[in-house]
Structure 1
Amino acid sequence: MNPIKTKVKVTLSMKIADQGTAESYERKSLGRLIEGKDKRMLTYDEQMEEGETVHTYVTIQHDQVTMKRTGAVEMKQIFAPRQWTETIYRHPLGVIPMETYTEKLAYLEGDKVHKLVIDYQVKLQGQPERKHSLELTLEQEEEA
């Protein structure tokens, strides 16, 4: 089976809860979804508030999701249900060890819209855990 490549509109919605406070943001961009037999790969670029670009690669498999970011920030974060994973988060202010515990991982496929939902906790360099909810919505672009 040859991979299917589709241009998609990507909407990243993030919510972060931290000791009684909450913040949320949403970013939109264009990307490409490559669908194979056992996995999907999404690539897109994010424009950060500072104007710098982050290249994001998301590999979606049955039992885990890997999110690799390069550019203004760098990390390779692995989401595996009910497991702690570790990575190094590199950004302009320094290098921070990061631990992630994945509570929920779901990939929902529709005809024109796909959704990746991840609920997880993050510990940065021994700080208290912060609860994160990430939702990636992939909407197939209409062909001209």
Structure 2
Amino acid sequence: MPSHAKDVQVQLVTEIQDGDRKETMKIQESGQFFKRGDTQVLTFTEHPEDGEPVSTMVTIKPEHVSIKRSGGVEMRQVFQTSTETENLYHHTYGDFHMKTLTDKVEFRSLEESTQGRLYLSYTMTLNHEVTQAHRLTLTFEEESDS
């Protein structure tokens, strides 16, 4: 981790809308935030109750956002407004083909506010069959030294 990385508290809320069914998942973890040029990076490790830890790296650039996960699951998902991207999601239960069409990307850096925020609204199609609306809200703030 770069020496200028800040320790942060991360909250990730994912909402999935599938017809009239809505699922919300929340995680809170400690992480690190750093900036290099016009790229901002947030890293944290998820500790699911029923599986291996998953390391997550969120890279935010002016033209796109990428989320790379490794460990219990393997994937790299890219978000670019009005652009469809594709990737494979490697999971214990098998591999899934994912197509992502990003509607909206909003980002507020820790440099602009005491709380950083990344908001993504997108449609995802799994294995060419199931299409769901997704909203991802990632908030992070510097840990206090108390």
* Same-fold call, TM cutoff 0.5: yes
Distance in 2, matches of 1:27 and 1:93, equals 22
Identity, % of aligned pairs? 32
Q: Is the 8 A contact 1:96 1:125 kept in 2?
A: yes
User: What is residue 141 of structure 2 aligned with on the other side?
Assistant: 139
- Structure 1 position 3, deviation (Å): 7.8
Distance 1:37 1:71 in 2: 28
CA root-mean-square deviation: 1.5
Post-superposition offset of 1:37: 2.4
Q: Deviations over 1:89-133 (max 9, x none)?
A: 000000111100000001013432100000001000111310000
Match of 1:36 in 2: 36
Gaps of 5+ in 2: none
Q: What does 1:69-84 align with in structure 2 at a 5 Å threshold?
A: 69-84=69-84
The answer to whether the 8 A contact 1:56-1:67 is kept is yes
How many residues end up aligned between the 2 structures? 143
Alignment partner of 1:112 is 2:114: yes
In 1: Cα distance, 2:22 partner to 2:50 partner: 22
Structure 1 segments unaligned to the other structure (5+ residues): none
TM-score normalised by the chain length of structure 2: 0.93
Match of 1:130 in 2: 132
Contact 2:46-2:53 at 8 Å conserved across structures: yes
